[in-house]
């Protein structure tokens, strides 16, 4: 099996020895080196986390294939505290959001679905945009890299979890992400990525209509309410309003405030 043929479902069944072999094979295809193979707990079982260094940058090995991404609102049951927070802080603030929390989420989250994504090396850390959004694909291509698609980003972030956030369906409601310190958003995800951790750092994807991982601090600074301030970190949050801003006239002059997460193809 070549590195490009790895699938997420196959990967979940591997032990550490087999994962190490696949990691070494993947590293060889890109003239890189394996810097970490670690067994972590994910989705109720052992999961192998692999980090490969290529050209001085660390990447997580993210097996693909047919995977589930997005969020199933029909399955989700909000906690009473989440509903209260939304009703009292967000609706009470008169910001014009949908009266029903589910309706609001339907506007900003992608639906649960099955997609096909390639196996990739995904940068452990986001990088600030060095060029306007329209020019970033070319700038990354010069380094042998590219932007992730929205589906690839969501899979890399959630790692198969169907929860609202990559760590679960709930978030601290006694503080916003900016004030949460060592909250769940600070932990690396199953693949080892530092992702969806800072609402002030939205990440560009290959789709001009989708920005992930943050809202530039809009909800935090706007006082939209604690739960609403956490929602930009939801795995399936595509932030259409922020995407429109980024690809508009104002965004072209402020691109250095945004980031992206380069990916490297193995096939």
Residue 99, judged by CB atoms within 10 A of its CB (0-12, 13-18, 19+), counts as exposed
pLDDT score of 256 more than 90: no
Closest CA to 215 of 226, 205, 227, 229: 229
Report pLDDT for 249. Answer: 75
159 touches 166 (CB < 8 A): yes
Quick one: pLDDT band at residue 4, thresholds 50, 70, 90?
confident
What does the pLDDT look like over 165-189, one tens digit per residue?
999 999 999 999 987 778 999 999 9
Model confidence over 9-40: pLDDT tens digits? 999 999 999 999 999 999 999 999 999 999 99
Tokens 């800072």, residue? 198
**Higher pLDDT residue, 180 or 53?**
53
Residue 251 clears pLDDT 80, i.e. is over it = no
Q: Report whether 150 contacts 203 (CB < 8 A).
A: no
Reported pTM: 0.96
Domain map (residue ranges) of the chain: 3-265
Q: What is the pLDDT of residue 159?
A: 98
Q: Of the ranges 55-69, 103-117, 243-257, which one carries the lowest mean pLDDT score?
A: 243-257
Nearest to 237 by CA among 138, 140, 171: 171
**Mean pLDDT confidence for 114-139:** 96
Count CB atoms within 10 A of the CB of residue 261.
26
CA 13 to chain centre: 23
CA distance 108 to 86: 15
**What SS3 state is found at 253?**
helix
Q: Cα dist. 37→3, 19, 48, 60 in Å?
A: 15, 8, 7, 10
Phi, psi of 142 (to 5 degrees): -65, -20
Q: Is 239 helix (H, G, I), strand (E, B) or coil?
A: coil
Q: Which residues pair with 216 in a beta bridge?
A: none
Is the per-residue pLDDT at 267 higher than 90?
A: no
Query: Which DSSP helix (H) or strand (E) runs through 17?
Result: helix 16-29
Closest by Cα among 172, 174, 173 to 185:
172
Q: Is 44 left (phi over 0), alpha (psi -120 to 50) or beta?
A: left
Contact 59, 53 (CB under 8 A): yes
């Amino acid at each position: 099996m070549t590195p490009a043929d790895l699938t997420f479902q196959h990967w979940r069944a591997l032990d550490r020895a087999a994962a190490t072999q696949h990691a070494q094979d993947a590293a060889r295809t890109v003239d890189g080196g394996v810097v970490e193979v670690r067994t972590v707990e994910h989705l109720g079982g052992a999961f192998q986390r692999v980090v490969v260094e290529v050209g001085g940058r660390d990447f997580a090995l993210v097996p693909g294939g047919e995977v589930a991404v997005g969020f199933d609102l029909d399955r989700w049951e909000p906690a009473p505290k989440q509903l209260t927070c939304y009703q009292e802080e967000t609706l009470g603030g008169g910001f014009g959001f949908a009266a029903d929390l589910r309706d609001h989420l339907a506007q900003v989250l992608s639906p649960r679905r099955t997609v096909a994504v390639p196996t990739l090396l995904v940068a452990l850390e986001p990088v600030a945009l060095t060029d306007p959004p329209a020019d970033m694909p070319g700038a990354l291509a010069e380094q042998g890299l590219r932007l992730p698609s929205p589906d690839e980003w969501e899979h890399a972030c959630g790692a198969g979890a169907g929860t609202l956030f990559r760590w679960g369906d709930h978030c601290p409601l006694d503080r916003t992400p900016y004030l949460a310190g060592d909250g769940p958003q600070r932990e690396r995800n199953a693949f080892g990525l530092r992702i969806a951790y800072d609402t002030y750092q939205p990440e560009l994807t290959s789709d001009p209509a989708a920005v992930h991982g943050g809202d530039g601090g809009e909800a935090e600074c706007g006082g939209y309410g604690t739960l609403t301030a956490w929602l930009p970190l939801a795995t399936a949050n595509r932030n259409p309003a922020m995407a429109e801003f980024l690809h508009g006239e104002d965004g072209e002059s402020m691109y250095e405030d945004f980031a992206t997460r380069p990916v490297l193809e193995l096939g």
